[in-house]
Structure 1
Amino acid sequence: MGSMFSRIASLFGGRSGSASPRNRQRADYLGDFTGVARAEYAPKPNGRPDPGEIVWTWVSYEDDPKQGKDRPVLLIGHDSRSTSLLGLALTSKDHHAGARVTGGVTETRDGRHWFDLGSGAWDPQGRPSEIRLDRVLRIDPAAVRREGASIDRARFDAVIAALKQAKGWR
């Protein structure tokens, strides 16, 4: 009966059940972006997701794209081959233990690359965030749950410089 109520509620725009990120409607996994992205900074206070903004959306796990979690993502541009936005996932977890730092980019033992973004309005607890640089996500604009905050141009440019360093982009 509970699942029938959920289906009926969803038809009328209502929500029922847990608001847990793992129980939310999951976006289809579009696959990670491959190639060289052209970064663009264009945040606008218009209620739509734009490059330069940190938004909340579903991010699939690499090892099992059918699973994932709702998390903050910095939008860095558009995929020229589709209508997808491109983004980098944020975390409040520190990745410096046992890692090598070169030019502001932290490389962990498992080959992942991170950049210290600092704290901002996207995290209500004010925790410092790191951005994962080695995985560029393709995001369906309709799957963005909410805008978290825009970042300033200087921070955006620092992230893009670190991304280019980590990916070997020119």
Structure 2
Amino acid sequence: MTSLEQSLFRLAKAALKSIASRPATQRNTPEAYAPEPGSTADPGEIVWTWVPYEDDPSQGKDRPVLIIGRDGSSLLALMLTSRDRNNARSRHDDYVDIGSGSWDRRGRPSEVYVKRLLTIDPGAVRRIGATLDRLLFDRVMSRYEERS
């Protein structure tokens, strides 16, 4: 294993300890839209962090998440995906289209998965990617409330 691979492995292991997921039905009440550029991650901001896979929490990947609130000192978030679940062939109510933005360097359209609430240690946030438009944030939160 190269030193880079060892470093990435250590980072992933540390991130797994600081990130938990739970069904959206087991949640605290999200906070209001409150992005504040230049500070720590706030509700309404999309940040990058390590997210464990649902079927195998010992593995995962670095991905964007939408911050929707706080639980004590932890952040509450919903993960984004660039896999198109809502298109001409199918519709999945657990995903909300939010389009593309600066959180994805390749400019791919994204969707927010509203059925898996993540609890993230603020120290596990790798970078702040963007602020989600208020109307889109409200649409995500409305679907989150419906589906939880």
Counterpart mapping for 1:47-66 below 5 A: 47-66=39-58
Deviation at 1:154, TM superposition (A): 1.2
Amino acid at match of 1:117: I
* TM-score scaled by length of structure 2: 0.83
1:144 aligns with 2:125: yes
Aligned to 1:9: none
Secondary structure of the structure 2 residue equivalent to 1:94: coil
C-alpha contact 2:86 2:97 (8 A) present in aligned 1? no
The residue identity in structure 2 corresponding to 1:64 is: D
Deviation at 1:54, TM superposition (A): 0.3
More strand by share: 2
- Counterpart in 1 of 2:86? 96
Instruction: Give the Cα–Cα distance (whole angstroms) in 1 for the partners of residues 145 and 41 of structure 2.
Output: 23
For each residue in 1:4-26, what CA deviation from the matched residue of structure 2 results, as whole angstroms up to 9, or x when unmatched?
xx4xxxxxxxxxx25x9x64712
Residue 25 of structure 1: aligned partner:
11
> Residue type matched to 1:59 in 2?
V
User: Where do 1:7-22 residues align within 5 Å?
Assistant: 17=4
Q: Identity over the aligned pairs, expressed in percent?
A: 49
Change (3 A) 1:45 1:134: same
Q: Per-residue deviation at 1:47?
A: 4.2
Does the residue aligned with 2:135 lie in a helix, a strand or coil? helix
Aligned Cα root-mean-square deviation (Å)? 2.4
Q: Which runs of 5+ in 1 are unaligned?
A: 7-16, 108-112
d(CA) in 2 for partners of 1:43, 1:96: 27
| CA spacing shift, 1:24–1:130, aligned 2, 3 Å | farther
Inter-partner Cα distance in structure 2 for 1:151 and 1:85: 16
Report the residue type matching 1:25 in the other structure: L
Determine helix, strand or coil for the equivalent of 1:126.
coil
One-letter amino acid of the structure 2 residue matched with residue 138 of structure 1: T
* Matched position secondary structure for 1:62: coil
Aligned length: 141
Q: Which amino acid aligns with 2:45?
A: E
* Equivalent residue letter for 2:98: L
Secondary structure, counterpart of 2:54 in structure 1: coil
> What is the match of residue 46 of structure 1?
38
SS in 1 for 2:42: coil
